[in-house]
């Protein structure tokens, strides 16, 4: 399906939103469960929150935001994958509060910072891949079940090329165990499950904020069953052990198994497949719980808080930017005019907090896309222009002290053109090297093997990311916009909990915030 025409889509939506006789006007202006959102700060006061996946990028930003804006939060249980309290404490100090992210809070509290963290944050050593979240301390378990008002599940692996056994345990069965645990929390008001907008697979057009029902697939193939998938994994691992496979062989086999199983049901990779099935489990197991599913798009550095440009890890578009800045990106594969849906991390966290408050008052079952493609689209051509402008003004400096000169890259608009490019530029020289290596008694064997390995890595990465470089979908955010409007109208601190992506000036954000943040992270 072709990508929607952005100008006509926006014009149509604008007209519909402002026509009193329009069904869309009625939809946007009718009463809803979130008409009265109220104060986020008031809601957080004296609340107890369980955050699963505390070392993740968004989890850290969420933790910092709550502690900074509402110091009267009662308690935050931070579930960390750890064998004991000492391991959890080590992770807290080294992977969370030791990060630059917390510098504003540290400056605000001064010498009271450590005592404040000790008072407000309770570490929970555990593992969501086990029933009961792997909690060994029965007293702590009882305390969590009796006191928790909100659960936020951020625990996941986001690696597109993850081992299937790991992704299935974390992204799918982990959700099952979180849902089962949530039902034991007697005071629970709402559960937020953070997924990804890309559970849609490779679908194009307007992608709605619709749920997945258990067993539903993207291609209509029946028989999707998570217990059966677990059995397939276990059988494959047993088979590999019997064959005496090395750990490397097991890793490769598990990665390949994940991709093949995802494709059976219409998803392009292990990550989005296991996240989609995780969503299905939320729907299936929610019972009477008030549940919110948050689907962010590509999450980038903070736009404003706690300060602009905080980023951790190099994500998809960041790896492109860094490779380009270093002068090593010679070509771009994809639709250069295609929309890339990006959203700053602090906006995602703010949307989560407002949704938390909106749906804590009564049972609900809703999905929010948090992104920008429909209301403020950004294209790969925009990114190329920003990269050229930024790295021309502030060039990457090589080890010898000389600046890297950047220019326009070759754009390959199809897989056929990419394969021709690879054949001429790399595969032919590799074939020549192979012949020379044979003629000269394996003299070039090391060089040949290394070049061949790099080419195989590139081809695998291209296959993994191809669906996104040619992605033609736009993420409908009607629910998210209704939430924002309701918050704006009902006294929510919208300036503090902003998430209107329409307000982003992309050139300012990339030139002054995101790219400087990425470069700073690289040189730490």
Return the closest-CA partner of residue 281 out of 224, 350, 203, 352.
Answer: 224
Interatomic CA distance for residues 96 and 116, integer angstroms = 15
DSSP letter at 406 equals -
Beta bridge partners of 474: 206
Interatomic CA distance for residues 281 and 287, integer angstroms = 11
Helix, strand or coil for residue 378?
coil
Active site residues: 271, 275
Q: In terms of C-beta density within 10 A (0-12 exposed, 13-18 middle, 19 or more buried), how is residue 68 classed?
A: middle
User: Do 308 and 199 meet the contact criterion of CB atoms below 8 Å apart?
Assistant: no
Find out whether the peptide bond into 306 is cis, omega within 30 degrees of 0: yes
Q: In terms of C-beta density within 10 A (0-12 exposed, 13-18 middle, 19 or more buried), how is residue 84 classed?
A: exposed
Interatomic CA distance for residues 351 and 52, integer angstroms = 18
Return the closest-CA partner of residue 163 out of 124, 199, 129, 212.
Answer: 129
Q: Could you tell me the CA-to-CA distances from 383 to 290, 337, 378, 408, 468 in Å, in that order?
A: 39, 10, 8, 12, 15
Helix, strand or coil for residue 284?
helix
Element (H, E) at 16: helix 6-17
Q: Could you tell me the CA-to-CA distances from 156 to 58, 98, 270, 296, 407 in Å, in that order?
A: 11, 22, 12, 14, 37
Q: Reading across the β-sheet that carries 150-153, which strands appear in turn?
A: 121-126, 75-81, 48-52, 150-153, 190-194, 291-296, 365-370
Return the closest-CA partner of residue 320 out of 144, 510, 177.
Answer: 510
Q: Could you tell me the CA-to-CA distances from 143 to 53, 132, 137, 439 in Å, in that order?
A: 19, 14, 10, 72
Q: In terms of C-beta density within 10 A (0-12 exposed, 13-18 middle, 19 or more buried), how is residue 4 classed?
A: buried
219: CB partners within 8 A, 6+ apart = 265, 266
Interatomic CA distance for residues 372 and 245, integer angstroms = 45
User: Do 134 and 126 meet the contact criterion of CB atoms below 8 Å apart?
Assistant: yes
Residue with tokens 């992270």: 521
Helix, strand or coil for residue 109?
helix
Helix, strand or coil for residue 225?
coil
Return the closest-CA partner of residue 290 out of 208, 192, 180.
Answer: 192
């Amino acid at each position: 399906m072709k990508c929607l025409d952005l100008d006509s889509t926006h014009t149509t939506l604008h007209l519909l939103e402002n026509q009193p006789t329009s069904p869309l006007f009625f939809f946007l202006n009718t009463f809803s469960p979130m008409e009265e959102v109220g104060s986020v700060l008031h809601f957080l006061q004296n609340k107890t929150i369980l955050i699963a996946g505390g070392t993740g990028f968004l989890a850290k930003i969420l933790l910092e935001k709550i502690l900074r804006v509402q110091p009267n939060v009662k308690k935050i249980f931070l579930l960390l994958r750890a064998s004991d309290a000492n391991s959890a404490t080590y992770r807290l100090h080294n992977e969370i509060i030791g990060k630059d992210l917390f510098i504003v809070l540290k400056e605000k509290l001064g010498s009271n910072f450590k005592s404040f963290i000790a008072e407000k944050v309770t570490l929970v050593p555990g593992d969501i891949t086990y029933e009961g979240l792997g909690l060994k301390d029965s007293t702590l378990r009882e305390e969590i079940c009796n006191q928790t008002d909100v659960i936020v599940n951020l625990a996941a692996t986001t690696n597109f090329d993850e081992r299937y056994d790991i992704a299935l345990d974390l992204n799918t069965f982990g959700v099952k165990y979180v849902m089962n645990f949530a039902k034991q929390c007697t005071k629970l008001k709402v559960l937020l499950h953070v997924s990804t907008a890309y559970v849609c697979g490779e679908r194009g057009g307007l992608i709605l904020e619709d749920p997945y029902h258990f067993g539903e697939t993207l291609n209509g193939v029946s028989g999707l069953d998570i217990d059966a998938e677990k059995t397939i994994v276990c059988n494959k691992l047993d088979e590999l052990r019997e064959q005496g496979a090395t750990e490397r062989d097991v890793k490769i086999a598990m990665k390949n198994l994940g991709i093949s199983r995802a494709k059976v049901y219409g998803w392009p990779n292990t990550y989005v497949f296991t996240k989609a099935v995780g969503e299905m489990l939320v729907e299936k197991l929610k019972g009477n719980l008030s549940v919110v599913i948050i689907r962010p798009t590509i999450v980038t550095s903070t736009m404003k808080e706690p300060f602009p440009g905080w980023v951790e890890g190099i994500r998809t578009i960041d790896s492109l930017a860094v490779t380009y800045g270093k002068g090593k990106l010679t070509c771009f594969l994809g639709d250069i005019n295609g929309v890339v849906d990006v959203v700053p991390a602090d906006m995602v966290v703010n949307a989560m907090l407002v949704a938390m408050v909106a749906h804590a008052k009564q049972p609900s079952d809703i999905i929010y896309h948090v992104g920008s493609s429909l209301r403020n689209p950004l294209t790969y051509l925009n990114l190329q222009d920003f990269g050229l402008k930024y790295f021309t003004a502030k060039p990457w400096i090589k080890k010898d002290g000389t600046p890297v000169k950047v220019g326009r890259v070759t754009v390959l608009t199809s897989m056929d053109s990419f394969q021709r490019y690879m054949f001429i530029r790399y595969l032919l020289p590799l074939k020549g090297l192979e012949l020379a290596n044979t003629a000269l008694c394996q003299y070039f064997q090391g060089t040949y093997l290394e070049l061949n390995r790099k080419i195989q890595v590139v081809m695998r990465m291209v296959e993994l990311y191809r669906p996104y470089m040619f992605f033609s979908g736009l993420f409908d955010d009607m629910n998210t916009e209704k939430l924002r409007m309701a918050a704006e109208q009902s006294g929510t601190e919208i300036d503090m909990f902003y998430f209107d992506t329409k307000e982003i000036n992309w050139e300012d954000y990339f030139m002054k915030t995101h790219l400087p943040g990425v470069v700073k992270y690289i040189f730490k």
